[in-house]
A = this chain, B = another copy of it.
Amino acid sequence: MSIIQCVPNFSEGKDESIIKEIVTAISSVEGVKVLDYSLDADHNRSVVTFVGSKDSVLEGAFNGAKKASELIDMTKHSGEHPRMGATDVIPFIPIKNVTMEECVQIAESLGKKIGNELDIPVFLYENAASASHRKNLAKVRKGEYEGLEEKMQQSKWQPDFGPQKPNLKSGATAVSARMPLIAFNVNLNTNDLSIAKKIAKNVRLGGGGLHSVKAMGVELKERNIVQVSMNMVNFKKTPLYRAVELIRAEAKRYGVSVVGTEVIGLVPQEALIDSLEYYMGIEEFKHDQILENRLYQD
């Protein structure tokens, strides 16, 4: 069975009853399982995490976007987080027995359906982007809801689907296919924030470091230490162990050591097993040797 993860973000982070209605609309689809949802009042934004098969995730995501278009009014929305629509972003993430290409196809089908049936403009981004200047979500969303009408008058910011101007109540929606993002931190035995910042810079691609790693230096005041806080945006290209070992090597320059790591939130099993294979030098390990993976095979 295929498993696709979908993590839509909605522009409502205060009224939980609205988010519950959206979650109910999503989970009403057979084959969809909502794993988590969380509201952020400061950002006035919610994140819903659900999984499903190829057939069910599209319908679940559409139901969520439809309900959000009914219940959220962007003319009245404010919050700290950048946003351009009631359903702001909908990424599809391949987890099991599914390719990135298939997730791109789902993103395209959903975009078309939202454009046609909900009359909301849709921009495809990341792996689903229709042009290279649209890959980066920050660029797609720049100007936000308030700047959408003007932005969409430029030929390079015509939507991929739906009307040629923003939906007044719902704004626009960005839909994508992307790799799972792993929030992964490495703790150092120093309280010198400048060291964490220097290492973070060296670990990032732009600082001469690693592909698919976003990194910044952060203080952990309670523990009186610092950490390199990372988003690993493609663990197949750049695995977790590589970031740990590079940080360990860079830390030596400053006479500090790695004292621990943290995985925040959900992580695919493959990302962990892959790093264990490195550390223990396991030869020719097959993931269906993991007992639990046999239990649910169909």
Contact = CB atoms under 8 A, between A and B. Distances in A.
A258 interface: yes
Nearest to A281: B260
Interface string A1-25: 0010100000000000000000000
Nearest to A278: B279
B295 A282 contact: no
A244 interface: yes
A259 B276 contact: no
A262 interface: yes
Interface stretch (A37-45, A141-149, A151-159, A265-273): A265-273
A247 to B, nearest CB: 11
A187 B279 contact: no
B291 A268 contact: yes
Contacts of A272: 272-273, 276, 290
Query: How many copies of this kind of chain does the complex include?
Result: 2
Contacts of A259: 281
Contact of A276 (B279, B285, B290, B291): B279
A276 B267 CA distance: 13
Contact of A269 (B241, B265, B269, B284): B269
Interface-centre pick from A187, A280, A285 (highest chain B CB count, 10 A): A280
A193 to B, nearest CB: 20
Interface of A: 3, 5, 33, 35, 51, 95-96, 180, 187, 240-241, 244, 258-263, 265-269, 272-273, 275-276, 279-285, 289-296
Given A241-B279, A269-B290, 11 more contacts: A3-B295, A187-B283, A259-B281, A260-B281, A262-B283, A263-B289, A265-B289, A266-B289, A267-B290, A272-B276, A292-B293
